[in-house]
A = this chain, B = another copy of it.
Amino acid sequence: MGNLRHMLRARTLLGPGPCNPYPEATAALGQPLLGHLDPLFLQVLDETSDRLRTVFGTANRRTLPLSATGSAGMEAAFVNTVGPGDVAVVAVNGLFGQRMVDVASRTGAEVVAVEHEWGQPVDAERVLAAHPSPKVIAAVHAETSTGVESDMAALGAGKGGALLIADCVTSLGGIPVELDAWGVDIAYSGSQKCLGVAPGLAPFTISDRAWERRITKPQSWYLDLGMLGGYAGEAAGSGGRTYHHTAPTGMVVSLHAGLGRVLEEGLPAVHARHAAAGGALQAGLVERGMRLFAAEGSRLPELTTVWVPDGVDSAGVRKRLLEEYSIEIGGGVGEFAATVWRIGMMGHNARPDTVALVLAALDDVLA
C-alpha cells in the first residue's frame, strides 16, 4: 500500500476551494484531541460560535458549526424549515441555486425556481414577485459556480412574512456578510473557503424568528436543529448540554483557530486583502487579453471566473499548472466546464504573491 511520500510538494490551492488553510488552523489539528463533552472543548465550541456570530454579522444565539461540509448546511437549512404544503422560492443563477432546488424538493415542499442567466446576479424584484406567500425565499450570496455576488439586502428588505435563507459558503470571511442588517434568517457556510480551514464543517446560524417556525421533527435526524440545540448554540451558557452526536472536535478546534486568525487581523482588513488580491488578479487577466465571465459590478474578489482563451485546451492548461507548478485552479461548471476557469483567492491565499505566482505560471503555460 502507498503512503504519503508522493506528497513531497505542497499544492497551491487556487480552485473554488479548499484553499491552503491559515497556518494556525493547520497547527491546531496537531494539538492533543479533546472529547466532545470535555469542559475545555465546550469552551472552544462556545468561543467558536461567538466568532461565527461576528463573521456572520448576527446576534443569533443559535449559531454553530455543523458536523459536515457546506452542502449539509444547505440541507439543514431546508429540512428544518419546509415540508409538504410549504412553498420555497429559490433564486437560481448557478449550480448551487440548482442544488437548492433539488435539496428543497426532497422535503416535499413546492419549489418555485426563478431562473437567471449564469454569470448574472440574482434579480431581487423577480424573485420577490415569484410567489405571493412563500414560507422561505432562498438565494446564494456568492455563487461558486460563476463567481457572482448577489444582493441579499434587497431580498431581505422585500421578504415580507417569508424566511430568507442565504448560502454564504464562498462569501463568509471573504466579503462583508451582515445577516442581521440584511434580514437574513438562516445562513450556512463551509470551513474550506475564505475562512481558511480544511473542509469538514458547515458554520450555520438561524434567527429566533425562523426557529419558532421550524419543522419540529425534520426528516433528517443528523441535521435536526432541535436536537442539536441541546448540545450547542441554544444551551450554551445555560450549563445544560445533551449529547447528540460525537462532534468532530479536532476540526472545531481548527475552525476556532482559523477564525481567531481572521478576527485578529480584523474583518475589514481581511476583506480588503481579498478585494486587493481579486482585483489584481482580474486586472492581470484583462491585461493579458482575457475576458472575465461574471457580470461587471457583481464580480467576487475571492473567486474569479474567466473565459478560456480561444483555441486553448482548458484541461491541458490545468493539468500543466498542477503537474509543473503544483498549482490547482478550477474548471468551469455545467455547460461552461471546458470554456471557463475558476481561480480562487481565498483565506490565507488572498495575497499579492499568490496573484503574481498564478499569473506568471499562466504566462508560461499559455506562451
Looking across the interface, which residue of chain B has its beta carbon closest to that of A14?
B35
Q: Name the residue on B nearest A217 (C-beta).
A: B106
Whether A238 sits at the interface, judged by CB under 8 Å, is no
List residues of chain B with CB within 8 A of the CB of A4: 28, 31, 44, 253, 257
A47: Cβ under 8 A from any B Cβ: yes
Main secondary structure of the interface of A (DSSP, over half): loop
* CB closest residue in chain B, given A200: B248
Among B26, B38, B51, B106, the residue within 8 A (CB) of A220 is B106
Q: In whole Å, how far is A165's beta carbon from the nearest beta carbon of chain B?
A: 15
A245 to B73 CA separation, bound complex (whole angstroms): 12
Name A54's closest neighbour in chain B (CB-CB).
B1
Q: Is A219 an interface residue (CB 8 A)?
A: yes
A80 CB within 8 Å of chain B: no
Whether, in the assembled complex, A71 has its beta carbon less than 8 Å from a beta carbon of chain B, the answer is yes
Structural contact, B30 and A26, CB atoms closer than 8 A:
yes
- Closest CB-CB distance, A352 to chain B, in whole Å? 21
Residues 1-45 of A contacting B (Cβ, < 8 Å): 1-4, 6-7, 10-11, 13, 15, 17-18, 20-21, 26-40, 43-44
CB-based contact B249/A43 at 8 Å = no
Q: Whole-angstrom distance between the alpha carbons of A247 and B68 in the complex?
A: 9
A192 at the interface (CB under 8 A from B): yes
Chain B CB within 8 A of A102 CB: yes
| Cβ contact within 8 Å between A192 and B32 | no
Query: Given A217-B106, A221-B71, is A246 in contact with B199 using a C-beta cutoff of 8 Å?
Result: yes
User: What is the interface of chain A, defined by CB distance below 8 A to chain B?
Assistant: 1-4, 6-7, 10-11, 13, 15, 17-18, 20-21, 26-40, 43-44, 47, 50-51, 67-72, 74-75, 99, 102-103, 106-107, 190, 192, 198-200, 217-222, 245-251, 253, 257, 260, 263, 322, 328
Q: A18-B36, A38-B328, A70-B246 are in contact. List 15 more A-B contacts (CB 8 A).
A: A2-B43, A11-B32, A11-B35, A18-B35, A33-B198, A38-B322, A39-B322, A67-B199, A71-B245, A72-B245, A75-B222, A106-B219, A107-B219, A198-B250, A200-B250
